[in-house]
Amino acid sequence: MKRREFLHTTAAATAGAALLSGLPIGAYGYSPALAALTNATTQSDKVLVIIQLQGGNDGLNMIIPLDQYPALMAARPTIALPQNAVLPLTAATGIHPAMAALHNLYQNGQVGVVQSVGYPNPNFSHFRATDIWTSGSDSNVTLTTGWAGRYLDGEFPGYPTGYPSPQSPDPLAISIGSVVSNCVQGPSVNMGMAIANTSSFYQLLSGGVDAAPNTPAGHELTFIRQVVSQTQVYTTTIQAAARRAQNLSPLYPTAGQNTLADQLKIVAQLVAGGLSTRIYVCTLGGFDTHTLQVPATGSTSTGTHAALLGKIAEAVNAFQDDLRRLSVQDRVVGLTFSEFGRRIRANAGYGTDHGAAAPLLVFGTKVNPIVHGPNPTLPANAGVNDNIAMQYDFRSVYTSILQDWFQVAPATLRQLFGQSFPYVPVLRAGALATTPAAEAAEFTVYPNPATRDGTATVAYESTGAHVQIVLLDTLGREVRRAVDRVLPRGSQQLPVDLHGLPAGAYYCQVREAEHSGSRILVVQ
Q: What are phi and psi of 270, to 5 degrees?
A: -70, -40
Cβ pair 37, 252 in contact under 8 A: no
Cα 374 to Cα 389: distance, rounded to the nearest angstrom: 12
Element (H, E) at 479: strand 478-486
Q: Give the distance, in angstroms, between the CA of residue 299 and the centroid of all CA atoms in the same chain.
A: 31
Cα 74 to Cα 56: distance, rounded to the nearest angstrom: 22
CATH of the domain at 201: 3.40.720
Q: Is 391 inside a domain boundary?
A: yes
Find out whether the peptide bond into 376 is cis, omega within 30 degrees of 0.
no
Q: Is 32 inside a domain boundary?
A: no
Cα 235 to Cα 143: distance, rounded to the nearest angstrom: 31
- Which residues are registered as beta bridge partners of 221? none
Residue 489 and residue 382 share a domain:
no
Taking alpha carbons only, the member of 326, 394, 297 closest to residue 59 is: 394
Residue 120 and residue 83 share a domain:
yes
Q: Is 405 inside a domain boundary?
A: yes
CATH of the domain at 496: 2.60.40.1930
Residue 462 and residue 369 share a domain:
no
Residue 123 and residue 242 share a domain:
yes
Q: Residue 167 sits in which domain range? A: 47-417
Assign 208 to helix, strand or coil.
coil
Q: Is the dihedral of CA 416, 417, 423, 426 positive or negative?
A: negative
Residue 504 and residue 407 share a domain:
no
Cβ pair 171, 235 in contact under 8 A: no
Helix boundaries (H) for 333-393 = none
Cβ pair 106, 54 in contact under 8 A: no
Q: What is the pLDDT of residue 352?
A: 98
Residue 368 and residue 281 share a domain:
yes
Residue 376 and residue 240 share a domain:
yes
pTM of the entire predicted model: 0.74
Cα 315 to Cα 334: distance, rounded to the nearest angstrom: 12
For the chain, 524 residues long, give each residue's pLDDT as a single digit of tens: 333 333 333 332 232 333 333 333 332 322 333 333 333 444 568 999 999 999 999 999 999 999 999 999 999 999 999 999 999 999 999 999 999 999 999 999 999 999 999 999 999 999 999 989 988 889 999 887 766 666 667 667 777 778 888 778 888 888 887 655 676 676 776 666 778 778 878 877 876 655 666 776 666 656 545 544 433 678 888 989 999 999 999 999 999 999 999 999 999 999 999 998 888 989 999 999 999 999 999 999 999 999 999 999 999 999 999 999 999 999 999 999 999 999 999 999 999 999 999 999 999 999 999 999 899 989 989 999 999 999 999 999 998 988 898 887 888 888 888 888 888 999 987 665 443 333 456 788 999 899 998 999 999 888 888 888 988 775 556 789 999 888 999 899 999 999 999 988 787 888 776 566 777 788 98
Residue 495 and residue 351 share a domain:
no
Number of residues assigned to the chain? 524
Q: Is 493 inside a domain boundary?
A: yes
Residue 199 neighbours by CB under 8 Å, 6+ apart: none
Cα 93 to Cα 381: distance, rounded to the nearest angstrom: 20
Answer with the one of 372, 399, 417 that is the final residue of a domain: 417
Structural domain count of the chain: 2
